[in-house]
Amino acid sequence: MNTQDLPANILDPNCPSRVIFQRIGDKWASLVIQVLGEGPVRFSELRKMVSVVTPKVLTQTLRALERDGLITRTVHAQVPPRVDYELTAMGESLLQPLSLLREWAESHVPTILEARDAYDDAQDEALLGSPSWAGRTGLPRG
Amino acid sequence: MNTQDLPANILDPNCPSRVIFQRIGDKWASLVIQVLGEGPVRFSELRKMVSVVTPKVLTQTLRALERDGLITRTVHAQVPPRVDYELTAMGESLLQPLSLLREWAESHVPTILEARDAYDDAQDEALLGSPSWAGRTGLPRG
DNA sequence: GCTATCAGTATCTATTGGATACCTTTGACT
DNA sequence: AGTCAAAGGTATCCAATAGATACTGATAGC
């Protein structure tokens, strides 16, 4: 669904689906949605649960999600104020895809940490142990 | 799997799963992985397919994915150089969760665009049409 | 009065992302 | 011999974003 009304395609930089995909993949947005999966939460609670996010960035994230129709924001005119955030139906429909990703991340932690160690060791070795003409390209240096 | 070896939990800021989750949700990383789902691709091809990414950022993304063991980088010692990027088995295991998210994004494009329009209209109206004492909080201003 | 509560802003700085130019080697072309 | 193109990046500089910190505002309770 780009300007030419072709089918949505994330690889097309002009396609809104790409922007939306990146909004979902935002650093904080996906965490917020998963927290709200349990039910409505107020601002300060959200801040504690999605630690460590600064209020400015949390506000930005929430506004963006609200604009996209994924959450609602309800203000109770009290003092001190109470503002509840809650998933919309569309927001809830994101929970399942997100939880799959979350499970993937949580289950692959050990493997990825090992891969990082191996990579970092290889880097160190390349810097310290090998002759200076052996670069990453496999070709001689200039 | 945090420093105390508790079960992985994305909501714990000390848990590596959180970092990994955010790496997946990186602006370009997930697109790269989806492109590589078709098979090995060389740098310049990748740049065209994942437009519009600058070479610096693409390099950073690829290095990070390589470090995490999600892709491999193979250099063919030719001139001009040829470098192929390819998913590892772990990288391939990410394809399914990611494609779900992609399908979600592509299918919700119209609804989200409508929500944005509605939100923006409401904002304009609030700014232009309503009395100045009616803020977002529902409480009087100071 | 003074303080606490809650939901944010305002301000400033550090980090990241992006645009652009440039580098390297070698074969093909002139 | 000189020049250009190709591929996979770096280097450099500037803009946008994220983050740290301080602060606002109304009111209830002490």
pLDDT at A141: 44
**Cβ of residue B13 near strand D, that is under 7 Å?**
no
In a domain? residue A88:
yes
Tell me the nearest-neighbour CA distance from B43 into chain A, angstroms: 13
In a domain? residue A125:
no
Mean pLDDT on B132-136: 49
A28 or B5, higher pLDDT: A28
Q: Are A6 and A16 in contact (CB under 8 A)?
A: no
What total of structural domains would you count in chain B?
Answer: 1
In a domain? residue A45:
yes
pLDDT band at B141 (very low <50, low <70, confident <90, very high): very low
**Taking all residues of chain B, what is their mean pLDDT, rounded to a whole number?**
88
Highest mean pLDDT among A83-97, B16-30, B128-142: A83-97
pLDDT band at B133 (very low <50, low <70, confident <90, very high): very low
In a domain? residue A21:
yes
pLDDT at A101: 94
Residue-wise pLDDT tens digits, A105-128: 999 999 999 999 999 999 888 776
**Cβ of residue A77 near strand C, that is under 7 Å?**
no
d(CA A65, CA A87): 9
d(CA A96, CA B51): 29
A136 or B88, higher pLDDT: B88
At A89, which CATH number? Answer: 1.10.10.10
pLDDT at B117: 95
Which residues span the domain enclosing A88? 16-93
Torsion of CA B134, B119, A14, A20, to 10 degrees: 110
Tell me the nearest-neighbour CA distance from A12 into chain B, angstroms: 7
d(CA A77, CA A73): 13
d(CA B129, CA B110): 28
pLDDT at B136: 61
In a domain? residue A78:
yes
Q: Say whether A105 and B68 touch across the interface (CB within 8 A).
A: no
Instruction: Tell which strand C nucleotides have any atom below 7 Å from a protein Cβ.
Output: 4-11, 17-21, 23-27
For residue B39, pLDDT over 50 is answered with yes
Q: Are B66 and B87 in contact (CB under 8 A)?
A: no
The position carrying tokens 């990825």 is A112
In a domain? residue B113:
no
pLDDT at B51: 85
DSSP code of B37?
T
pLDDT at B14: 85
Q: Say whether A17 and B101 touch across the interface (CB within 8 A).
A: no
pLDDT band at B138 (very low <50, low <70, confident <90, very high): low
For residue A9, pLDDT over 80 is answered with yes
B125 or A12, higher pLDDT: A12
Tell me the three state secondary structure of residue B81.
coil
For A26 and D30, how far is CA from C1' in angstroms?
45
In a domain? residue A123:
no
